[in-house]
Structure 1
């Protein structure tokens, strides 16, 4: 008897926590199915999709680096949000073999700050570090929530182009990533009625990657520091932020949020989110 399955693809992929999340939910719900990880190199992406398209047991896949942009022209259709963002992190196979691309990164990123976003603020600003596929979703999500965005990348021109494409109506700023590496003596005003986010949307600080150079003199008082890296989960960036008194959000928060939506696409029901504490405990063992 065949078993429905989904998986996460990328290069590298062994460090992914997505299989632990989805398989935990499948067990909790008593659903037949499994969720795997699959190493797919960039040059293998076309063949991978051709094989999976023909497999009626395959429900789809999550997509991580470096495929979130490269996969776009290989799909049959795009969900409107994925089309606007220009990046896909979830592919769903239809019963007729057609492949549809979605982006669950944007709502997944916002999930852990929804309570704060429900409040009224005088001003919202986000400093976003990175210009890859995940950053595209984050910039689009923040623009929808009326943030002024400072986007930092190795290539400020790429950062500027991304802002012009995804957030054309705001007065946003593009700068070099090295801008945040050195201390600043800028005197921030009272931010009590403002909401400031500092977001690492790059792979810097990930296992096997160089560290993220960020001096926290660039963070306004009461900033929330958010790192989407999941390996390691408690990055040096987050440790340094806590060390100087900032609230932090780890990458597992976004990963679980986006996985919720992907799971519903793959297996036809939402996961048991009342079990998040047990899920975190499992992953952190």
Structure 2
């Protein structure tokens, strides 16, 4: 078994803009090394105006099995691939692209499944929970759909784009509602930041006024490892779920989609 990638290695990319904050390439490459799998994931910083060029190149790389996609490309990627899985079609965003041998690209979305898997692994099953989600972009929409599927009692959506939040709420059913930014989060068992706020290491999406110590607060931002939003939650005694937990929980899903594991 190879201890490092050979010239015959299978390849996947992790694309975003910026990309240096992402946790998945290191996790995938550690798995490949430890399992003796001849494969590698390479992080690539792709600006929005270069996304179509990247997709064209992706189609032509014979030893490439696809790409994992992060902000700001998830919605655009869903519009550019050849097909979408039901999960990606529901939320209009793709965070994984699977490349077929003929170059055909299929978009999938594992953000929500990864987020919920991480919650359950940490002992915070969302069944029956009252959840508040900030951000209805690619990751937020996927997390919202997964929370509904997991059985939350109620899900409230906050987004500066009211139409986007309303459309998502209508697609997900009566337990989901768009709301204005609440003054207090006292009524919520689960509070989630699915925006990029916090990536600068200084900003938080909400002051978490009224947060109960029994609540769980999650973030999709992976760097800093503990965002200002999560630091606030910790100081109030709540359980936290960092963005890296969602990313790492998706690795088994991504490996199977690329055909690298069973």
TM-score by length of 1: 0.82
Structure 2: which 5+ runs fail to align? 1-6
Among 195, 203, 215, which residue is 1:202 paired with?
195
1:84 aligns with 2:93: no
Q: Which runs of 4+ in 1 moved over 6 A?
A: none
Q: 1:128 to 1:220 in 2, by over 3 A?
A: same
The alignment covers a number of residue pairs equal to 254
Aligned partner of 2:75 in structure 1 is 69
TM-align CA RMSD = 2.1
Structure 1: which 5+ runs fail to align? 189-194, 271-285
Question: 1:161 deviation in Å?
Answer: 1.9
Question: 1:267 deviation in Å?
Answer: 4.4
Write the mapping of 1:7-156 to structure 2, written as runs, cut at 5 A.
Answer: 7-114=13-120, 116=123, 123-147=128-152, 148-156=154-162
Does the 8 Å contact 1:87/1:133 carry over to 2?
yes
Aligned partner of 1:278 in structure 2 is none
Question: 1:129 deviation in Å?
Answer: 0.9
Question: 1:155 deviation in Å?
Answer: 2.9
Q: 1:233 to 1:77 in 2, by over 3 A?
A: same
Question: 1:207 deviation in Å?
Answer: 2.7
Question: 1:264 deviation in Å?
Answer: 2.0
Aligned partner of 1:5 in structure 2 is 11
Does the 8 Å contact 2:193/2:205 carry over to 1?
no
Question: 1:199 deviation in Å?
Answer: 0.5
Deviations 1:158-202 (A, max 9, x none): 32222112x1232x332234x34xxx4x975xxxxxx81111111
In the aligned structure 1, how far is the partner of 2:223 from the partner of 2:255?
A: 21
| 3-state SS, counterpart of residue 50 of structure 2 | helix
Q: Which has the larger radius of gyration?
A: 1
| 3-state SS, counterpart of residue 69 of structure 1 | helix
Write the mapping of 1:148-187 to structure 2, written as runs, cut at 5 A.
Answer: 148-165=154-171, 167-170=172-175, 172-177=176-181, 179-180=182-183, 184=184
Among 217, 227, 239, which residue is 1:235 paired with?
227
